[in-house]
Amino acid sequence: MDFKFTEEQDFFRTQVKDAVDRMIRPRIQEIDEADEFPRDLWKQFSELGYLGLRHPETYGGLDLDVITSMIFYEELARGSCGFAMAVTMQILMGTYFIGRFGTEEIKQRVLVPAIKGEKIGTICFTEDQSGSDLAGTRTTAVKKDGGWVINGRKMWITNGPVCDFCTVLATIDPSKGLEGLSFFLVEKGTKGFSTGQTIHKLGSHGSATGELIFDNVWVPDENLLGEGPGNGVKYTIEILNEVRVMTGLMACAIADEAMKDARKYALERVAFGKPIAKYQLIRAKFANHWAWYEAARLFSYKAAWMIHEGMQCQHECMLAKMFATEMCLSAVDEATRIYGGNSFAMEYPPQRYFRDARFLLFGGGCHEVLQNALGAAYLRKGG
C-alpha cells in the first residue's frame, strides 16, 4: 500500500496553497463581513486556470485526475469557505454535465467562457420540499415543439443569484419517481428564467445563494444533458460521489485551520501564571482532534482513490463525508472552548469557523438521510 502523493501532486498543492495565501487569505475577514460575491477576486482567481480543473485541455481545462482535484478543493477551503463554495460549484457541479453531454456548440458557447471565468454556472437540485429526496422533485419538463418546457422553483442554489447558466434537474414524468428525472441547460436571458429571493446565510459568506424560477421556460432538445430522457439519477450518483468527498476534505481543511488558530492562542494565552497549553484538559482537546482529523482525512482520500480507480464506492463516499464533517463540527467547537469568551467576539476567527462548518452538514446529503441509507446497507451485508 502506498500512502504518498506523487511529486506532481505535491507540487500542485504548493502552487494552490501559494495562490490561496496570496489572493484569498488576506481578504477572509473582508469577504465574511461584506457577505457579497467578490467579483474582482473571482476574475483574478479565474485567470490562474483552475476553473477548468476537470475539463479537457481542448476547451482550456487542466484535465486533472480526481485525487489531484481533491487536493485543490482541500487547499482552497483553507481560505474563504464561501468563496471556495462558489469556485467548487463552478468547477465540479456547475459545468460537469455540460462538459460531459453538451454539444460542441454548447461547449464553445457555455463551457469555454465558464472555464475562463467569464460566465458563472450552477446546478439546481434542491426545492422547498425536496433536498435529499430527489424523487420528490416537482420541477417539470414537458416535451413541446422540438424542445422542452420547464416549470418550477429551485431553492438553496449556490451561485444562483449571479449565475449566467444552470443545469436543472426536472422530472419528465412524476409518476416514475427517480426514473423520470433529467438534466437541462438553461441560460440567462431565456424567457421565463429569473432569480427569486437571495438567502442570507449564517456562514459561508461570499457565496451568493438563492432561488431560481422557471416559468414556462422553453429550451431546445440539445439542452437535454444526458443520453436520452430519464437518466438523471444515474448521473447524479456519479457526481455526488465526488461532491461528498470534496465536502469531506473541505471539512478537514476548516477543522485543521480552526485548531491551528486555537493552538497559537493556547500557547500565548496565560491563565493562573502559565500558558493554557500547559494544562492537561487543553492538551487533551488537541490530542483528540489530531486523531479524528487524521482518520477523517485518510478516509476521504481513500474514497477519492476509489473513485479514481473506478471502484464501486458510493457508501465509502457517504461515510467519508459524514465522518469528516462531524469531525469538523467537533473541532470548531473545541476551538471555541479553547478561546473561551473571546470566541464569542467577531474579531476572533473561531466564530467564523463555527458558522462555516454548519453549512457542510447539508451539502451532498444531510446526515440523517445518509445514516438511514448507510444503516440499511450495513444490515444487508453478509459475512
Residue 34 sits at the vertex; the CA angle it makes with 82 and 258, to the nearest 5 degrees, is: 45
Tens-digit pLDDT profile for residues 111-166: 999 999 999 999 999 998 877 788 889 999 999 999 999 999 999 999 999 999 99
Which residues does 240 contact at the CB level (< 8 Å), separation at least 6? Answer: 317, 364, 365
**What are the DSSP E strand ranges found in the chain?**
121-124, 140-144, 147-158, 165-171, 181-187, 193-198, 209-220, 270-271, 274-275
pLDDT tens, position by position, 199-256:
999 999 999 999 999 999 999 999 999 877 777 777 888 889 999 999 999 999 999 9
Would you state the CATH architecture of domain 233-380?
A: Up-down Bundle (1.20)
| Residue 372 reports pLDDT greater than 70 | yes
Domain boundaries, the chain: 7-120, 122-230, 233-380
Answer yes or no: are the C-beta atoms of 288 and 337 closer than 8 Å. no
The residue type of 188 is: K
Mean pLDDT on 250-275:
98
- List, for residues 164-178, the tens digit of each pLDDT value: 999 999 999 988 888
Give the integer Cα–Cα distance in Å for 75 and 290: 18
CATH superfamily of 122-230: Butyryl-CoA Dehydrogenase, subunit A, domain 2 (2.40.110.10)
State mean pLDDT over 333-338. Answer: 98
Q: Residue 237: its pLDDT value, please?
A: 81
Q: How much is the mean pLDDT over the chain? A: 95
Q: Residues 141-150: pLDDT tens digits? A: 999 999 999 9
Distance CA 196, CA 88 (A): 22
Asked if the model's pLDDT at residue 61 lies above 90, the reply is yes
| Equal fold, 7-120 vs 122-230 | no
The letter for the amino acid at 336 is T
Q: Are 241 and 313 in contact (CB under 8 A)?
A: yes
- pLDDT at position 382: 67
CATH superfamily ID and name for 7-120: Acyl-CoA dehydrogenase/oxidase, N-terminal domain (1.10.540.10)
Spatial separation of the C-alpha atoms in residues 144 and 69, rounded to whole Å: 39
How would residue 66 be classed by pLDDT, with cut points 50, 70 and 90?
very high
The pLDDT tens digits of the residues spanning 277-332 come to 999 999 999 999 999 999 999 999 999 999 999 999 999 999 999 999 999 999 99
